Structure 1
Amino acid sequence: KRIGQGSYGSVYLAKRRDGVGGYVVMKRVFVVEENSKEHQQAQNEVKMLQKLKHINIVTYKDSFVHDSHLCIVMSFCCGGDMQAQVKAAKAVGLVFTREQILDWAAQILGALRYLHEDKCVLHRDLKSQNVFL
C-alpha cells in the first residue's frame, strides 16, 4: 500500500514475508541507468543508512533493485509522522503538553547530534513530515 510520494519516488507499507516483526516501509526510487547520478546518490544513501545505529533513527533493513527501481526497506514507525500527528491533534482541539514537546525535541536533537558528531552526516530535509513517531 502506498503511503507517501515525493520527487524521489514512492514509499510503501509492506508486510514482512517471514511474518516476523509485522510491517516494514519500502522506499522505491526510480533509477534510469546504473551509472547515473541518481543511482550513485541512492547507493550512497544506502551505504550511509547501513551504518546508522541510533534509537531515534529509523532502522535500515535491506535494499535491492527491481524493475529499474532501488528499493530501500526500513522499519515501520506505527505512530506516523509528526506533521500528521499535529494536524490530527489540532482537528480535535488537542494541545500537546510542554513535556511532550520537549521530549520530542530532545529525541530529534539526540538523533541530529549522533548524525553530525558521530557520523559526520548532515540531514538535508529536516521537517515534521520526516520525523516519525
Structure 2
Amino acid sequence: MESDLLFIPGACVAGRYIVQTKLGSGSFATVYLVQDSKSKCNENKKVLKRILLGELRGDETVSFAKEAQLLSSLQHLAIVHFYSSFAELDSFCIVTEYCEGGDLHNKLRERQAIKKLYSEKQVVEWLIQILLGVQYLHDSLGLSRHLIRPGWSCSVAVDILGMPG
C-alpha cells in the first residue's frame, strides 16, 4: 500500500513528523514514535496514532474524529496531551504526548513476569493520579467509560482513546 511508505522510519508525515519507530498496533490503529521537527528540543518526541480509514465503517470514522476533538479540549496533568489530528492519504492521524517509559499495563506485566511486586506506596501514588484523571474527565465531560493508559515517566496519563500511549 502506497501510504505504508509514509510510515517507515525516516519518513516525514504531514511535513513535520519524522517516523522513528513503530511502537505497536491494536484493533484500529498503529502507533509510532515520531520526532516533531517544528517543536522545541525537549518536546520533540511524540506519538502518532495512525487509523486506517478504509478498515472502518463510516460511523467509526466519525467516532475517531469526535474523540480527537474531545481530546483536544482536555487539559490536565493526568491526561495525555493532544497536539494535533489530520488526514494523511487513507489514514486519520492523532498526535499526542509521548510517555518515555511506556504505560502502566506493560510495567505491571513486566513485574508479573519476574514475580516482583511494586511497593504499596508506589501503587497508592498511581491510584491517586488515575483517580484525579478520571475525576477530571467526569467533572469536565461526564466521562468515566474510557480506558485508562497511565504513562510511566509522565507520572500517570489517561489516554481516552484507549490505545497504547
Please tell me the TM-score bracket, short chain as reference.
0.7 to 0.9
- Aligned-residue Cα RMSD (Å) equals 2.0
Answering whether residue 111 of structure 2 is matched by residue 89 of structure 1, we say: yes
2:150 is aligned to 131
What TM-score, normalized by structure 1, do the two folds share? 0.87
Letter in 1 for 2:150: V
Counterpart residue identity of residue 4, structure 1: G
Q: Per-residue CA shift, 1:45-104, capped at 9, x if unaligned?
A: 011001110100100001110021110000100121112212333444542111100000
Q: Output the amino acid matched with 1:73.
A: V
Q: Given the two structures, how large is their TM-score scaled by the length of structure 2?
A: 0.71
Task: Choose the corresponding residue for 1:9, options 21, 26, 29.
Answer: 29
Q: Which residue among 75, 94, 102 is the counterpart of 1:72? A: 94
Q: C-alpha distance in 2, partners of 1:52/1:28? A: 20
Aligned pair partner of 1:116 in 138, 152, 157: 138
Q: For structure 1, which runs of at least 5 residues remain unmatched after alignment? A: none
Q: How has the CA–CA distance of structure 1 residues 15 and 46 changed in structure 2, closer, same or farther, with 3 Å as cutoff?
A: same
Q: Hey, which bits of structure 1, 4+ residues long, moved more than 6 A?
A: none
Unaligned runs of 5+ in 2: 1-20, 153-165
Match of 1:31 in 2: 53
